[in-house]
Amino acid sequence: MDETQILEEKHKLATRWFHWINFPILTLMIASGMLIYWAYDPYRIGIGSITLFHFFPDWFYDLTKIDHKLSLGMAIHFTMAWIFTINGIAYVLYTAVSGEWRELVPEKKSFREAALVAMHDMGLKVALPPQGRYNAAQRITYSLIVFMGGLSLLTGLAIYKPAQLNWLVAALGGYEWARWEHFWLTMSYVGFFGIHIAQVIRAGWANFRSMVCGYDVVAAGGTKESEHGA
């Protein structure tokens, strides 16, 4: 341990800003979206007349008190959408121009390697392939999340201005499908958030710290404190 330690940059300042701005804004988008969804809440998991789960049950509305706030929900949603959109587009532009996309976008081998990462994370003793900033599973997941953000914007615009953008509505399969897609994209974020948090906790403090301050402590020779990120 008397080996020399150095700081290694893990996440660029810009990336961290985009990430930490997106977190509360997406939270507000989801929350205000729920106020809107309450007014017409047809979606469920089920087949035919069998409903396994209705989005959302009465106890959920009672608990969250999101009922009867449609107009407020719409006003917040159509305000925060600007910040969500600007932050998202700025992130994509930054990632494209800076070359950071090379660290993020899945490679051919990512899809095979992601299975190994998943098995490893589920506790199976699998040798992990060497990785860059993001492992194969992270490359796929994080790229997918950015892509889904774009889809949320497009499906949202289609629902927001269906007459002016009727070509977009048609491309998404119609008005009702666009709303369905918008809803399930949102539910996917909630699912992603759960897994993401679990992985951040698993990966430990040094990994989390690197998303806050941008750096990790590594031995000058090589091994870093955090094994792999979340």
Q: In sequence order, which ranges of 55-105 are alpha helices (DSSP H)?
A: 58-64, 70-98, 101-104
Using CB under 8 A as the binding rule, whether residue 200 contacts other proteins is answered as no
Residue from 37, 84, 134, 189 that binds other proteins (CB under 8 A)? 37
Phi/psi at 42 (5° precision): -85, -10
Residue from 61, 101, 175, 192 that binds other proteins (CB under 8 A)? 175
Task: Tell me the number of residues near other proteins by CB under 8 A.
Answer: 46
Q: How far is the CB of 118 from other proteins (least distance, A)?
A: 30
Residue from 122, 124, 190, 220 that binds other proteins (CB under 8 A)? 220
Q: How far is the CB of 210 from other proteins (least distance, A)?
A: 9
Q: How far is the CB of 216 from other proteins (least distance, A)?
A: 8
Using CB under 8 A as the binding rule, whether residue 170 contacts other proteins is answered as yes
Long-range contacts for 8-12 (Cβ within 8 Å, ≥24 apart)?
A: 8/215, 8/216, 8/217, 8/218, 8/224, 9/214, 9/215, 10/133, 10/210, 10/211, 10/214, 10/215, 10/216, 10/229, 11/210, 11/211, 11/214, 12/98, 12/100, 12/214
Which residues lie below 8 Å from residue 203, measured CB to CB, with a gap of 6+? 226, 227, 228, 229, 230
Per CB under 8 A, the segment of 98-106, 108-116, 142-150, 160-168 that binds other proteins is: 160-168
For other proteins, the binding residues (CB under 8 A) are 1-9, 16, 20, 24, 28, 36-37, 39-40, 42, 70-72, 74-76, 78-79, 82, 161-166, 169-170, 175-176, 179, 209, 212-217, 220
